[in-house]
Amino acid sequence: MEKCISESLLVQYLVNELDEEVGDLVRDHLNQCSLCQTKAETLSDDIELKEWHECHQRQQGKDDLQTYPFSEDRLDRLFNSTVSSIQQSKPFSPQSPASHNQKNNSSINQSNSASFNRKLHQDTLRVIGSYHLIKKIGQGGMGVVYQAIHAHLKKQVVLKLLLNNDWENSNQSLRFYREMELVGQLDHPNIVKATDAGETDDTCFLVMEYLEGHDLKKILKTERSLSITAACSILRQAANGFQYIHNNNLIHRDIKPSNLFLTTEGKIKILDLGLAGLSHSETSFSDLTDSNCIMGSAYYMAPEQAMSVKTIDQRSDIYSLGCTFYQLLTGRLPFKRNTPVETIIAHREDIAPRLSDYLSDVPETLEELFQSMIQKDPNDRIQTMAEVVKKVDDFMEQEQDSLLHEASDTSLTHSQELIRLCQNTDLSPPVEALSQYSSTLFQPTHRFWNKKNILLLIMGIALLNAGLFYFIRFDQIPPPVSNIPKISPEEAQNQRAAALWALEHECELTLLLANGVKVQVNNTSEGLPKDDFQIITLKLYHNQPLDENALSLLKNIKSLNELRLDDCVLGDNALAPIKGLTSLTVLDIHHTKLTDKGLSHISELKNLKTLSIKLNPDLTDTGLQVLNQLPRLEDVDLARLNITDKGITFIQNNSNLTKLNISETNVSDASVPYLIALEELESLRIKKTAISEKGIEQIRNAFKDHDPVRLD
Residue numbers belonging to the annotated binding site for ATP: 160
Report whether 609 contacts 583 (CB < 8 A): no
DSSP single-letter state for residue 45? I
CA dist 627 and 654 (Å) reads: 10
Alpha-carbon distances of 329 from 130, 203, 333, 351, rounded to whole Å: 43, 41, 10, 19
Helix 228-247 and helix 314-330: axis angle, to 10°? 170
Query: Where would I find the H helices in 610-690?
Result: 672-676
Q: Which residues define the annotated binding site?
A: 160
SS3 671: helix
**Smallest Cα–Cα separation from 256: which of 333, 362, 155, 366?**
333
What is the C-alpha to C-alpha distance for residues 69 and 623, in angstroms, rounded to an integer? 67
Tell me the three state secondary structure of residue 170: helix
Residues 6+ apart with CB under 8 A from 334: 322, 323, 326, 327, 352, 353, 374
Sheet holding 659-661, edge to edge: 518-522, 507-513, 533-540, 562-564, 586-588, 610-612, 635-637, 659-661, 683-685, 709-710
Residue 325 makes CB contacts below 8 A (sequence gap 6+) with 231, 235, 370, 373
Torsion sign over Cα 274, 512, 629, 554: positive
Q: At what angle do helices 228-247 and 385-398 cross, to 10 degrees?
A: 150
Structural Rg of the chain based on CA atoms: 28
